[in-house]
Structure 1
Amino acid sequence: MSTTPRPSPTLLKVCGATTTHDIEAAAAAGADCVGLWHGVPGGPSELDQDGLAALAAAARSTGLLPVLVTFLADPHHLTDLVTRTGVGWVQLHAYQPPAAVRALREALPADTGIVKVLHVQPDGHCVERPLIGAYGRAGTDLFLLDTATGDGRIGSTGAALDPDRITPLLPRLTRPFLLAGGLTPTARPAYHDIVTHPGFRGIDVDTAARSQHTGAFAVPQIAALARAWRTTAPTPDHPQLELSR
């Protein structure tokens, strides 16, 4: 099982696929990774285990890296999901503590990446800020900066992150990072200082990857994101995060 996405200067992850059409559109438009939701109670893109396995297989067949996006924390259950479904990375949304990351790192195969989401509120407060170093030491491979709305919603909210609220966090990051939070093709110039940071590895998008008419992933929307956001970024030195096979 490969855990390295197709080569590109900047990773493009589209999140919340629910059908093979979504997978095919993401692959055709040049995405690298696809997020598959499981263990996100009430989530609009939630998949059962069989659906997760089927779409992970479909993603691998197109060259996409399937990423489990979850609120779950139990390392044994997550490891069983990885084994049964063949996802390449586990993306931990919600507020799993560093101890859960450490237990997961110890339980997972060495070639399975762990992505830990850091939730940034509109005022710039990040509840995980004091724990960033501990997450890195526990075995996090990649951070993802995403929005936590004022009413407590997290994950695919479509709410934009103010770049001025993100910049103070960057010196604290001990691992490379992805950027999320209401990103669009036209938003890239506002994030110039972030995308040129040596730790930047790419973007994670849900809402802007979808057709406004059908709600499904759409090739024109994803291709526009790829054109706008792909920039020259340093190659990661962690073997799980190599951008080339």
Structure 2
Amino acid sequence: MSGPPPRTLLKVCGATTRGDIEAAATAGADCVGLWHGVPGGPRELDADTLGDLASAARSAGLLPALVTFLAEAEALTELARRTGVGWIQLHAYQSPTAVRALRASLAPEVAIVKVLHLAQGGAGCVERPLIGAYERAGTDLFLIDAATGDGRIGSTGQALDPADVLALLPRMTRPFLLAGGLGPTSPARYADVVRAPGFHGIDVDTAARSPLTGRFGVPEITALARAWRGDPSGGPARAHPPADLEPSR
């Protein structure tokens, strides 16, 4: 990182159509998450659709991020080369060894995002003892998200306790994104997290969607952008994620 982003980065997750891409771009998102290798996931894409939507995202000025439970470096590297994704978001319990192998095989301009799963009710983060190892292995960015009591991870819609998030930060030297039930009314609740060193942006699924269609909605994403950036004008100007992150070597 060369410094803090000019404003909060907004990643919307789970695009499945070109219409989703267009809505995200129109409303001012920076990055769009595309699911592949998420068994049983409601927004799972095959490799061809992943590539098509990644191309559409780049053309619209968005950074496409592969969101996956996969861990095998060779398969993920081939996907990155084939589809042109700019981030690989490891959204499961991949090991630091898997991250190291992936970093060694990926092109340097592709960033690795490792999700840290913070359980609700003060149960802690299972990856907490491994944060340093993830950083040494080549993680570029962390994403702090909720894990539910019944073991669900990813797009749970469950909010995190800000105190639990803040307790995790002293172990981290990489920038981080915040996820977990975030919406336009959330910034005040997470004001201390937003002010913390390393805060880079947010990752949203449910609140980015129209309640009528379940698709990404321009009004919904615009409301997120305005609320989290403190910018009443909203609009499509972006924080340009590729320039903000320099993948680890």
Give TM-score, length-normalised by structure 1: 0.92
Match of 1:131 in 2: 130
* Distance (whole Å) between structure 2 residues aligned to residue 228 and residue 31 of structure 1: 13
Q: Does 1:90 align with 2:94?
A: no
Q: What is the one-letter code of the residue matched to 1:207?
A: T
* Whole-angstrom distance in 1 between the partners of 2:78 and 2:129: 30
Shift in alpha-carbon separation, 1:231–1:195, aligned structure 2, 3 A: farther
Please give the root-mean-square deviation of Cα atoms over the aligned residues, in Å.
1.8
Structure 1 moving runs of 4+ over 2 Å: none
Question: Residue in 1 aligned with 2:8?
Answer: 10
Indicate conservation of the 8 Å contact 1:123/1:165, yes or no: no
Match of 1:54 among 37, 52, 55: 52
Change in Cα spacing, 1:182 to 1:157, as seen in structure 2 (3 Å) is: same
Match of 1:3 in 2: none
User: What is the CA-CA distance between 1:8 and the residue it aligns to?
Assistant: 5.0
Residue 111 of structure 1: how far off its partner (Å):
0.5
Per-residue deviation, 1:231: 5.7
Secondary structure in 2 matching 1:76: helix
Match of 1:78 in 2: 76
- 1:156-175 maps to which residues of 2 (within 5 A)? 156-175=155-174
* 1:111 pairs with 2:77: no
Opposite residue 241 of structure 1, the aligned amino acid is L
CA distance in 1, matches of 2:230, 2:169: 19
Q: After superposition, give the CA deviation of every residue in 1:139-190 in whole Å (9 maximum; x if it has no partner).
A: 0000000000000000001111111211100111120000000001101101
Q: Secondary structure at the match of 2:187?
A: helix
Change in 2 beyond 3 A, CA 1:231/1:79: farther
CA positional deviation for 1:123:
2.3
How far apart, in 1, do the equivalents of 2:243 and 2:20 lie? 28
Aligned to 2:23: 25
Corresponding residue for residue 245 of structure 2: 241
Measured in 2, the distance between the counterparts of 1:98 and 1:161 equals 24
Q: Structure 2: state its 5+ residue gaps.
A: 232-238
**For structure 1, which runs of at least 5 residues remain unmatched after alignment?**
1-6
Give the percent of matched residue pairs that are identical in Structure 1 and Structure 2: 71
TM-score, structure 2 normalization: 0.90
Letter in 2 for 1:109: A
Instruction: Tell me how far 1:104 sits from its aligned partner.
Output: 0.2
Q: Which amino acid aligns with 2:133?
A: A
Q: Aligned partners of 1:148, 1:157: CA distance in 2, in Å? A: 8
Question: Which of 8, 20, 38 in structure 1 is aligned with 2:36?
Answer: 38
Aligned-residue offset at 1:239: 6.0
Query: Which stretch of the first structure deviates more once superposed, 166-175 or 110-119?
Result: 166-175
Instruction: Give the corresponding residue for 2:235.
Output: none
1:4 corresponding residue in structure 2: none
On the 8 A contact 1:35/1:66 being kept in 2, the answer is yes
- 1:62 is displaced (CA, Å) by 0.3
Q: Does 1:151 align with 2:150?
A: yes
